């Protein structure tokens, strides 16, 4: 392996219960904002992995559970559609409100992710894009965890170029997430995204994907 893909915690998967009822391989890809996690997942999808996004499932939960959220937050006008901007402002500034929302949505998100993995066939590679795996370790059980990391200055630059976020805005988002050290502690593989998107895609295709295919085929 190159210095861009680091093999960590080889027995981690043995301590986590297999997520799939079939012989598919379940893989969590996690990483902080601006790390390159989304690029990694998109590359794996292009190579043939079946993918699912925790953020998309969270969005679906806000739609499907709108009446429950409206009652919990005393906003009856949300019964037919949650005001996501207003809700985000409430929970971002209030840990108790955030925990209340999570108590409503997390069980449903877990149900949806379970349904995704249950739909896989033997030999498939199921990839779950989950930025907050460390923060919510009970979200699912996975055969493997891939952590995507990047130097903080590069993350600032990417986020500014991508969305125009100022440094203090990035700081607030990074502070709300776990650290790269915490992600490494639960990862089987670490992708070090400290060069370019092209290098990251190349490493995923030439090094990570063959490893996942080998494991999905049952090779030791």
pLDDT digit string, tens, across residues 90-121: 998 788 998 999 999 988 898 898 889 889 99
- How far apart (Å, rounded) are the C-alpha atoms in residues 188 and 6? 8
pLDDT at residue number 12: 44
* Cβ neighbours of 175 (radius 10 Å): 7
pLDDT (tens digit per residue) in 30-86:
999 889 999 999 999 999 999 999 999 999 999 999 999 999 999 999 999 999 999
- Residue 170 CA to residue 34 CA, distance in Å, equals 9
How far is residue 142 CA from its own chain's centroid? 12
> Is 170 a residue whose pLDDT tops 60?
yes
Q: How many domains does the chain have?
A: 1
pLDDT value at residue 63: 95
CATH assignment at residue 9: 3.40.50.300
Measured distance CA(198)–CA(53) in Å, rounded:
22
**Mean pLDDT for the stretch of residues 163-177:** 78
Q: Which domain holds residue 32?
A: 5-216
């Amino acid at each position: 392996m190159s210095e861009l893909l680091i093999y960590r915690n080889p027995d981690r998967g043995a301590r986590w219960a297999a997520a799939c009822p079939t012989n598919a391989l379940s893989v969590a890809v996690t990483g902080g904002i601006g790390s390159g996690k989304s690029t990694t997942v998109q590359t794996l999808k292009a190579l043939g992995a079946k993918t699912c996004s925790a953020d998309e499932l969270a969005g679906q939960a806000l739609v499907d559970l709108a009446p429950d959220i409206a009652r919990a937050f005393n906003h009856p006008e949300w019964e037919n559609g949650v005001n996501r901007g207003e809700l985000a402002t409430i929970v971002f500034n209030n840990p108790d409100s955030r925990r209340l929302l999570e108590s409503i949505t997390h069980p449903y998100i877990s149900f949806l992710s379970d349904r995704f993995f249950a739909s896989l066939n033997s030999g498939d590679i199921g990839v779950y894009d989950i930025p907050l795996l460390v923060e919510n370790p009970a979200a699912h059980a996975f055969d493997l965890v891939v952590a995507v990391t990047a130097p903080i200055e590069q993350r600032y630059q990417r986020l500014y170029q991508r969305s125009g976020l100022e440094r203090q805005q990035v700081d607030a988002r990074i502070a709300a997430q776990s650290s790269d050290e915490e992600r490494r502690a639960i990862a089987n593989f670490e992708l070090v995204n400290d060069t370019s998107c092209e290098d990251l895609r190349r490493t995923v295709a030439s090094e990570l994907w063959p490893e996942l295919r080998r494991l999905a085929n049952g090779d030791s």
